[in-house]
Amino acid sequence: MRPLKRYSSPYRYGNRVRLVQVAGMCAFAAICVKLCLLQLVWNEKLNDRAASQFEGQRPIAAQRGSIVDREGRLLATDLEQVFRVICNTRESASADSVARALAPVLGKSVAELRQKLNTRRGYIRLVDGVGEATRRRVADLKLAGVGFERTGRRFYPNGSVAGNLLGVIREDGSAVGGVEMGFDSLLTGQPGTEFLLRSASGRPLLADRLPREEPVPGAELMLTIDERYQAVIEEELDSTVRGFDALGGQFILMDPANGELLALASWPPLDPNDLPGWRPEGAATRSVSDQFEPGSTMKLITFAALFEEGLIPDTSAIVPCHNGRYQVANRVIRDSNRHGYASLSAADVFHKSSNIGTVVLAQRMDKEKLYTMIRRFGLGQATGVDLPGEVKGRLPRLSSWGPVEYSNIAIGQGVAVNGLQMAAAYGTLANGGRLVRPHVIRRVRHEGGEVATEPLVIRQVLQESTIRSLRALATGVVEHGTGRKAAIPGLHIMGKTGTAQKLDAEHGGYSNKDYLASFAGIVPLHGRELVCLALIDRPRGRVEGGSVAAPLVSRAMSRILALENEHTNREEPLYLSRSGSLRVPDLCGLPLHDALDLLPASLDHSLQILGEGVVISQSLPAGEYPRDAGVLRLDCRPPLDTMPDLSGMSARDALRLLSGLGARITVDGEGSVRRQFPAAGSPLDARSFIRLGLES
């Protein structure tokens, strides 16, 4: 008998099916939860992770704004021909391997590069100022995460002219000193952003199809400085400092009507192009950052207080001068000449700069009157000039003034000022008695338009009768007093000399050998009166302001007047001096017919003219006194209403030739000019765009 076939219970299979169904539903639920987490909860985090792996961005440096003088002549600009080597450490190989690969190419040590790469994760600046040849060598290494930024190298076409005033841009792009630092935020502009897609190996992919935020170039600064005046003054200042073996010097030329600084020179000079030779102390505008005891130039303020109080009703009145020796409390005051004076008129006290006579006159008024006048002239307070690092000077509290301190301050000792404070004080003689804030920025131009600097009158200091009296005294100083060597025949120049003893830091008190020689005054130019302040620190040999600083003012202003072709009542041209010897005028930049008009008929040189148009060079340097007959050669080129042929020129020479045009200029590469746009002979104006390609 065959056994019966056994069948499984349907309930047994049903349990398995339900188990599979439950498991499937749980898996589906888990997938749904995971999808919800991915789509709703982790979405932003995962997108950021994907973006960090496949997307990138790097900054695009903005072109730094140019700096020009009051006539649009180029003082500082960016040359777009260098690169910054960068590394994104999130995408690169190990710091050690990258450092070892780059060190021999970049000329840096492995340790230095490794230290930078290990600083942090992300975007790292490795080296600035790399040229095209080095960039290609780095690119040939094909290192993941290593790239480049095109940056501008700062270029100063006039070299050391106004170098202290302009300041320095270091290789890392930081600004130090002067206008570059004071207006860094305006000049820098806004960097742009370049967005990238990257492959798995970190290589840029489809970068040209992605959007980018364009950089906003920095603003252009137009200074109040006249580059021609600045160059002349720096040359004469250099000659004076070296001639007297001095420690340093300053020269300020200011328009007191509006406070515009037309020249602001300091010695020693600074060439911002010479970064290897740069010294931190060089990036200082000494007329702003240095303070000094003014000496006898302070007597203008003392006499101003006396006139305002009506204490010198007659400048011909006699003042006792005690034969050169006058006791005040425990101090003996002396005059600078050996024997002194028995007595002088009040006018001659000022003309001959008698310390004793000034103190005797000052004792007619309370110390509060002099203190108030000093404060009204702005001493002991910053002028507010638009340059960094201004010192406010030193004015002792009135409560500390005893008889000796009062006498010292009346003759310019025991009080400290900066050069701009004294220039502004003397400016009151030429602007109706107003104290005006000095400034160096004339106009700021940016994409949104331009903003001009408005003159700022701080306060009215002097009344009209006092101004007339002080101008008469200051005129007498130059005509027959201590400032005779500041005179320029045919011009009405006024001023005051100063010879201030310097403090002896080693032994205390005042030095018997170290002096500050100075001259502050007013010189007419083109129908306006300008303030001049010349300071020579620690001259050797002659130390008097009338022998050191006054001649400097005369030489510098004579040359500036010649530049402007100013006509005076002189029978000889302004560039004839030094006992009738001929001084060669500066003819560069002048139309040929104007240059020929400037040459004196008595010049014992034959004239050779090459080309036509504008004089670009002359064989005899401006300011020299040639003794022998010879040839004066003038090289001329057409005026810059057409593009010149710049082939073969260095970047410096090309930019110098184009500097007065006011056009936008871009320079690519290194070496000499091989390509130019527009072509030679093309019409030019201030709206033109010029591109120069350089090759070694």
The CATH number of the domain where 249 resides is what? 3.40.710.10
Q: Is the dihedral of CA 427, 433, 437, 441 positive or negative?
A: negative
Grade residue 573 by pLDDT with cuts at 50, 70 and 90: very low
Taking each helix axis as running N to C, give the angle between helix 299-308 and helix 355-362, from 0 to 180 degrees, rounded to the nearest 10: 30
Residue finishing a domain among 131, 154, 177: 154
Q: Is the dihedral of CA 456, 460, 464, 468 positive or negative?
A: negative
pLDDT at 566: 42
pLDDT at 557: 94
539 domain-assigned:
yes
Can you tell me the mean pLDDT for 359-364?
A: 96
Residues listed for the chain: 696
Give per-residue pLDDT as tens, 511-559. 888 999 999 999 998 788 999 999 999 999 899 999 999 999 999 999 9
Burial code (b: 16+ CB inside 10 Å, e: under 16) for 179-214 equals bbbbbbebbbbeeeebebebeeebeebeeeeeeeee
Residues 107 and 234 in one domain: no
Residues 616 and 682 in one domain: no
Residue 574 has pLDDT above 50, yes or no: no
Give per-residue pLDDT as tens, 462-504. 999 999 999 999 999 999 999 999 999 888 999 999 999 888 7
Give per-residue pLDDT as tens, 51-104. 666 566 667 778 888 999 998 888 998 876 677 888 887 777 888 888 888 888
7 domain-assigned:
no
pLDDT at 78: 81
Residue finishing a domain among 122, 154, 186: 154
Residues 450 and 382 in one domain: yes
Residue 25 has pLDDT above 90, yes or no: no
Grade residue 140 by pLDDT with cuts at 50, 70 and 90: confident
Residues 656 and 609 in one domain: no
Residue 368 has pLDDT above 90, yes or no: yes
Angstrom distance (rounded) from CA 169 to CA 153: 9
177 domain-assigned:
no
Residue finishing a domain among 128, 154, 180: 154
Grade residue 305 by pLDDT with cuts at 50, 70 and 90: very high
Give per-residue pLDDT as tens, 147-168. 887 776 788 888 889 999 999 8
Token pair belonging to 336: 């600078």
550 domain-assigned:
yes
CB–CB of 359/410 below 8 Å? yes
pLDDT at 567: 35
Give per-residue pLDDT as tens, 209-260. 567 788 888 899 999 999 999 999 999 999 999 999 999 999 999 999 999 9
Residues 548 and 583 in one domain: no
Residues 555 and 583 in one domain: no
Residues 277 and 313 in one domain: yes
Residue 576 has pLDDT above 50, yes or no: no
**Residue in the block written with tokens 């391997």:** 97
Residues 129 and 87 in one domain: yes
Residues 538 and 612 in one domain: no
Angstrom distance (rounded) from CA 431 to CA 434: 6
pLDDT at 439: 96
Give per-residue pLDDT as tens, 332-360. 999 888 788 999 999 999 999 999 999 99
Choice between 122 and 435, residue whose per-residue pLDDT is larger = 435
Count the domains in the chain: 4
Angstrom distance (rounded) from CA 274 to CA 169: 11
Residues 624 and 549 in one domain: no
Residue 592 has pLDDT above 60, yes or no: yes
Helix (H) or strand (E) holding 519: strand 510-525
Choice between 446 and 385, residue whose per-residue pLDDT is larger = 385
CATH code of the domain in which 580 resides: 3.30.10.20
Give per-residue pLDDT as tens, 374-407. 999 999 999 999 999 899 999 999 999 999 999 9
What domain range is 623 assigned to? 576-637
482 domain-assigned:
yes
Residues 611 and 512 in one domain: no
627 domain-assigned:
yes
CATH code of the domain in which 63 resides: 3.90.1310.10
Angstrom distance (rounded) from CA 365 to CA 660: 55
206 domain-assigned:
no
Which of 53-57, 271-275, 393-397, 448-452 has the highest mean predicted lDDT (pLDDT)?
393-397
332 domain-assigned:
yes
pLDDT at 569: 36
pLDDT > 70: what percent of the chain? 82
Residues 264 and 305 in one domain: yes
**Residue in the block written with tokens 């020299």:** 624
